[in-house]
């Protein structure tokens, strides 16, 4: 039986201070990573949480993709997922769809089975979450038609103010009902959104069979706040902590995913690292890696 495995975002590897991706992965004892791809499929800077790092490969054509595959084979590393920064709230939806379709061709060409996508990241007006969900369903059904024949799955992340909402996820997955559409389970984002801790674990169990990819992060709230509904983003990023210190029980998460038959990546996205010095970040990330590896081996 295949086992889950630990991976890490390429952004995280560079952010903590490694001079390049391969050296960082080797030092962390990993060989799988989540790869960011921009709209031009070229090398670019990437900004997250106020930090800008240089990432990426040139992947525009067959020759560049062949070079990438040779590089990956020689280096002994491989992307587990492609991460896109699309936004279905964009005024130029065709550009967003073109981005995903290009990335789908890329993924098919280099043997990546899952693409992480966003839903609506810019909230321009107040409207019911059901409207966002209906729009998402329309877009995804069109995308599935226009990428027919691809084996790549799209994993929407529970992220931001729209797709963290249980009503959005319930409607979207019910209406799409396609094996190629699932969830990038972000363990910290449900908690960030304001759901009580017990509800977070309920949601992880509820959607476990839909999980195609993961982002692992953890938060730690004062005891009085853990089981009450909070505002989205309340006390963040101050409440961000390493995976091994927070309120979310990762042993339970691993058990739930295993029971659901999940055998994919457990990708570390520790957003607490910005609280540490540059010298401390690598040690914290290494401890995250060993923590999750141990849970996989024990459950």
> CA geometry: angle at 208 spanning 202 and 212, to 5°?
145
* 3-state secondary structure at position 45: strand
- In order along its 299 residues, the chain shows pLDDT tens digits of 578 999 999 999 999 999 899 999 999 999 999 999 999 999 777 787 777 777 788 999 999 999 999 999 999 999 999 999 999 999 999 999 999 999 999 999 999 999 999 999 988 667 889 999 999 999 999 999 999 999 999 999 999 999 999 999 999 999 999 999 999 999 999 999 999 999 999 999 999 999 999 999 999 999 999 999 999 999 999 999 999 999 999 999 999 999 999 999 999 999 999 999 988 999 999 999 999 999 999 98
Between β-strands 240-241 and 218-219, what pairing exists: parallel, antiparallel or unpaired?
A: antiparallel
- For the beta carbon of residue 75, count every other beta carbon within 10 angstroms: 15
CATH architecture observed for domain 5-298:
Alpha-Beta Barrel (3.20)
Q: Where are the beta strands (DSSP E) in 66-209?
A: 78-83, 114-117, 153-157, 181-186
Between β-strands 181-186 and 211-215, what pairing exists: parallel, antiparallel or unpaired?
A: parallel
Handedness of CA 248, 3, 71, 41 (dihedral sign): negative
Phi-psi sector, 87: left (phi>0), alpha (psi -120 to 50), beta: beta
Domain regions of the chain by residue span: 5-298
Place of tokens 């001079």: 19
């Amino acid at each position: 039986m295949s086992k889950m495995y630990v991976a890490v975002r390429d952004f995280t590897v560079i952010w903590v201070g490694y001079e390049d991706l391969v050296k960082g992965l080797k030092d962390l004892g990993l060989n799988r990573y989540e790869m960011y791809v921009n709209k031009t499929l070229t090398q670019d800077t990437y900004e997250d949480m106020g930090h800008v790092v240089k990432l990426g490969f040139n992947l525009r054509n067959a020759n560049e993709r062949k070079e990438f595959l040779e590089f990956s084979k020689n280096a002994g590393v491989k992307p587990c997922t492609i991460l896109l920064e699309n936004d279905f709230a964009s005024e130029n939806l065709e550009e967003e769809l073109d981005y995903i379709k290009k990335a789908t061709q890329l993924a098919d060409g280099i043997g990546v089975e899952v693409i992480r996508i966003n839903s609506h990241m810019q909230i321009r007006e107040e409207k019911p979450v059901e409207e966002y969900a209906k729009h998402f369903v329309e877009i995804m059904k069109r995308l599935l038609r226009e990428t027919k024949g691809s084996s790549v799955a799209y994993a929407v992340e529970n992220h931001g103010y729209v797709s963290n909402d249980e009503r959005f996820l319930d409607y979207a997955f019910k209406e799409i009902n396609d094996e190629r559409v699932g969830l990038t389970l972000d363990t910290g984002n449900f908690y960030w959104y304001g759901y009580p801790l017990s509800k977070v674990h309920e949601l992880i169990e509820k959607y476990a069979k839909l999980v195609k990819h993961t982002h692992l992060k953890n938060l730690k709230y004062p005891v009085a706040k853990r089981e009450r509904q909070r505002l989205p983003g309340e006390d963040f990023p101050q409440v961000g902590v390493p995976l091994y210190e927070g309120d979310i029980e990762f042993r339970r998460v691993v058990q739930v995913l295993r029971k659901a038959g999940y055998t994919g990546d457990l990708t570390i996205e520790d957003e607490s690292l910005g609280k540490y010095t540059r010298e401390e970040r690598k040690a914290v990330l290494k401890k995250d890696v060993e923590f999750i590896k141990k849970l996989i081996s024990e459950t």
